[in-house]
Amino acid sequence: MPDPAIDVTRLMAERPVVDLHADTFYRLARFADVAKFGARTQEGHIDLPRLVEGGVGLVVQAIYTPKEKTGPEGTDHAMRLAARILEAVRTNPGVGLVEEADDLDRFRGPDSIGFLLHLESVSPFAGEMGFLSLFEKLGVRSVGLTHNHANEAAGGCEDGPDGLGLSGFGRELVSELDRRGILLDVAHLGNRATRELLERARGPVVASHTGFRALCDRPRNLSDETIGEIVRTGGLVGIDFVPGHLVREGPATMDVVLAHIAHVAERFGTDHVAIGSDFDGFESAPPVGLEDASRFPALAARLLAAGYSEADTRKILGGNARRVLGEVLARRARR
Ligand SMILES: [Zn+2]
């Protein structure tokens, strides 16, 4: 068996990691300064130097709108957050926006990172379809209909056991997102809304950042039945590093992250598991050994040491995410 350390250095030099969910600009806007993105700090989990060190080639950056911000206030909030991300793209050499399928291969070199914009809750649309076109123009290529609570489009995972389904507006959005080649993300949706979305969507659909109820039974996490439905769309699930999604109590560890990855890999195959850290989106202590984005090489080493082949390790770290994003974005060229 080859020395994992040597394999990891070679592997990570190719910047294979795709992180399907991060809240870097929400954190920077709240606690710091967006200009800090380019400098290495000890704050939060992500900045440009730590992404480069971690072998990350692509990060899905969220435009998250808290539930208190409804109507025009939510729209204003989301536009400001989008403006800050776009400003970071403009002012950091080597950082670019992934908007079309071809862009997926543009950000692979040293010091080069692709951002893909994700709208986390469509509450900024305030029920108006025109805002989808506006946010699409801003570069949004992935959409989650809700955060934890119901909005104009759908029910959230904290709305009670089954929650609300999709509204008429939500159903129309699912069709439009599919048609436009924008990724559909069921993370944070309620059970009923998730089922209705998966029945309607053309796919592939993802749950970008999540844990699994079989290992940690919480409403925010996915049941095996739902994972199976996501897999049937050709999609995938991204493991997040939020301790409360990984373990019922106590600190999370790298072993627990490995166990969540193995849960999906063994039941549904290594083609349907990915990473969506939720870095910068939580304040509790991250899993021991995965303290920030510079630690992805340690995760790669652990996957190889656990017996995953190099090909499967590549898929889990980012290959699967690239495949699904490529499939969805390719639809843009054809419409
Ligand atoms: Zn989230």
In tens, the pLDDT along 107-151 reads 876 668 999 999 999 999 999 999 999 999 999 999 999 999 999
pLDDT digits (tens, 9 = 90+) for 243-287: 999 999 888 999 999 999 999 999 999 999 999 999 999 999 999
Q: How far apart are CA 262 and CA 253, in angstroms?
A: 14
φ, ψ of residue 239 to 5 degrees: the values are -75, 130
pLDDT digits (tens, 9 = 90+) for 1-53: 555 556 898 899 889 999 999 999 999 988 778 888 999 999 999 999 999 99
> Is the CB of residue 6 less than 8 Å from the CB of residue 300?
no
Q: Residue 3 Cα, ligand 1 centroid: separation in angstroms?
A: 36
Q: Which domain holds residue 107?
A: 4-334
Q: How many structural domains does the chain have?
A: 1
Q: Residue 147 Cα, ligand 1 centroid: separation in angstroms?
A: 7
Q: Residue 68 Cα, ligand 1 centroid: separation in angstroms?
A: 16
Q: Residue 6 Cα, ligand 1 centroid: separation in angstroms?
A: 34
Q: Which residues contact 299 (CB under 8 A, 6 or more apart)?
A: 254, 257, 275, 289, 290, 317
> Is the CB of residue 187 less than 8 Å from the CB of residue 210?
yes
Which class for 92: exposed (0-12), middle (13-18), buried (19 or more C-beta within 10 A)? middle
> Is the CB of residue 86 less than 8 Å from the CB of residue 138?
yes
| pLDDT over threshold 90, residue 334 | no
Q: How far apart are CA 152 and CA 147, in angstroms?
A: 12
> Is the CB of residue 141 less than 8 Å from the CB of residue 116?
yes
Q: Percent of the chain having pLDDT more than 90?
A: 88
Average of per-residue pLDDT across 209-232: 96
Q: How far apart are CA 94 and CA 109, in angstroms?
A: 9
Q: Residue 278 Cα, ligand 1 centroid: separation in angstroms?
A: 7
Residue 5: per-residue pLDDT? 57
Q: Residue 281 Cα, ligand 1 centroid: separation in angstroms?
A: 7
| Pairing label, strands 140-144, 56-64 | unpaired
pLDDT digits (tens, 9 = 90+) for 276-315: 999 999 999 999 999 999 999 999 999 999 999 999 999 9
Cα dihedral angle (24, 27, 32, 33), rounded to 10 degrees? Answer: 50
Residue 1: per-residue pLDDT? 52
Average of per-residue pLDDT across 170-188: 97
Residue type, 16: P
Average of per-residue pLDDT across 176-193: 97
pTM, 2 dp:
0.96
Q: Residue 142 Cα, ligand 1 centroid: separation in angstroms?
A: 13
Helix (H) or strand (E) holding 244: helix 243-246
Strand partners, 288: 253
Measured CA to CA in angstroms, residue 240 lies from 99, 124, 257, 277, 287 at distances of 24, 25, 8, 4, 10
Q: Which residues contact 77 (CB under 8 A, 6 or more apart)?
A: 65, 66, 69, 124
Q: Strand, helix or coil at 238?
A: strand
CATH number at residue 330: 3.20.20.140
Q: Which of 227, 168, 172, 152 is nearest to 195 (CA)?
A: 227
Q: How far apart are CA 73 and CA 83, in angstroms?
A: 15
Which class for 108: exposed (0-12), middle (13-18), buried (19 or more C-beta within 10 A)? middle
Q: How far apart are CA 207 and CA 230, in angstroms?
A: 8
Q: Residue 210 Cα, ligand 1 centroid: separation in angstroms?
A: 8
User: CA geometry: angle at 328 spanning 264 and 232, to 5°?
Assistant: 35
Kindly write down the DSSP assignment for every residue of 202-230, as one continuous string: -S-EEEEEE-BTTTS--TTSBPHHHHHHH
